[in-house]
Structure 1
Amino acid sequence: MTDDAEIPEDHPRHDSLVTRHRIEDGVEMGITSQQGLIAQGRGEAFDYLLGERTIPSADDAERAAAAALLAAEHPVLSVNGNVAALVPGELVTLAEATGADLEVNLFNRTAERMQAIADHLREHGAEEVKGLAADAQIPGLSHERAKVDRDGIYEADTVLVPLEDGDRAEALGEMDKTEIVIDLNPLSRSAQVATIPVVDNAVRAVPGITEHARELADADEATLREIVDEFDADAALAAAEDAIRDGDLD
């Protein structure tokens, strides 16, 4: 496994290399699929075009995401292989800050990978990890990602789905859930159908949502609902697309 300390902090591509190696290590640990390497590369390209920073519209989305999770009756954070490799401890911290459940959900699902990710999250502080029961299915999907826990994603009113695939994002929307999607591509189906699209790198977005959740911890439900209602998903997506098309890469 790669030690992050081996990469010089003054390397111009330090953060990108660290995340890349975490995905590679995830493959070695049986957490991330080989297809996850391709997904990481695609996201890295969009992040480069965004200037590898959290743009203002993404920060607004992260605040709205925090408000939605805090206002939810049953929030769930969906965890796939890539996000488990990149931000396992940060996901546990976000779950604690918002009272959300953690649930493993995979496209390339095997019992071994499911258990490995659940164990990995527990090693980073999670007390309970859902997803292994798989006693319910998301309507309209035929692949393995349709399998969810009934007392988890299936019955959740709000779901955070980092690094999502479009068909499941659409299916969750059809279930009338508040869906928060972290996706670096503002033109993806996932981002386009999300209630709250967060166009940011998961390594920045998850801690960003947590920070906002802590700031809003004492807010009443009316305030939280107002933050969510005032968030404009179309404007956020347009701002992200503009940043990619017209951004200064110097």
Structure 2
Amino acid sequence: MSLIPKSHPRAKSLLIREKLVDGFDNGLVAKEGLLAQGRGEAFDYLLGEKTSKAAMQAIRAAASQLLLAEMPVISVNGNIAALCPKQIVRLSKQVKAKLEVNLFYSNEKRKQAIIKTLKKNGAKEILGSKNTSSKKLPGIDSARRIVDKDGIFVADVVVVPLEDGDRTMALRRAGKTVITFDLNPLSRTSETANITIVDNVTRAIDLLIIESKKLSKKNQKTLQKIISDFDNKKNLRDNVIQIKNNLTRRAKIA
């Protein structure tokens, strides 16, 4: 990884890019994953490159949902393995969720590289690697229809960071509660998920870990109220309004 001066105004953004490039070089990230990151970064600019009040509300609801889940599963793709493997493992341990590797552009070499990275960062059990454990989600044609029979297939709550819209819809139709990270509040994934955290996953994942730890001391009634009070559609509208307000301010400066 190249040396990025901390004084650089885009240091954090450049570090994320470097992590993804390293992830690509090490077989974790698909070429298409690099393109997806660029699209997300554009929305991060529009959102002000910080965690908003709306995002914190979604994080709080997501933490509550995970703590109440009977069988939570975190889906891991190449970008997540490259960007925040240590944090995703920490989150899984905090909320007692299983980890499952699931790829849109799937091949065995990438899958094994991701599993190796997760294990290196403290993961013990990782699902999605055995063909004998495979099940198919109905209503989706991509490789992501293949899920683990002991993981996503039987999960009640699924965390799908950086997800594609088709599988989010398929998971919802299968009766799953879906939590996602998506910087684009207008995407199909954002609009289909039960809880959408409109924030950069590299910022929000740490906040979700902290919030999960804090809320783990609350009773079931309190957690359920947090979820009931959360309105994903309103939260997405709030994020769109934030983009509008940011653009209005910039227009005045220009």
TM-score band, normalised by the shorter chain? over 0.9
Q: CA deviation at 1:133?
A: 2.2
The gaps in structure 1 that reach 5 residues or longer are none
Q: CA deviation at 1:145?
A: 0.6
Aligned to 1:27: 24
Residue 229 in 1 paired to residue 232 in 2?
no
Q: CA deviation at 1:245?
A: 1.9
Tell which deviates more after alignment, 172-181 or 220-229. 220-229
Residue 48 in 1 paired to residue 45 in 2?
yes
% identity of equivalent residues: 46
Q: What does 1:1-250 align with in structure 2 at a 5 Å threshold?
A: 2-3=1-2, 6-134=3-131, 135-247=134-246, 248=249
CA-atom RMSD, angstroms?
1.0
Tell which deviates more after alignment, 221-230 or 40-49. 221-230
Distance 2:6 2:209 in 1: 25
Q: CA deviation at 1:114?
A: 0.7
- 2:198 maps to a residue whose letter is V
3-state SS, counterpart of residue 160 of structure 2: strand
The gaps in structure 2 that reach 5 residues or longer are none
* CA deviation vs aligned residue, 1:136-162 (integer Å, no higher than 9, x gap): 111111221111101100100000100
The structure 1 segments of at least 4 consecutive aligned residues displaced by more than 6 Å after TM superposition are: none
Q: CA deviation at 1:216?
A: 0.6
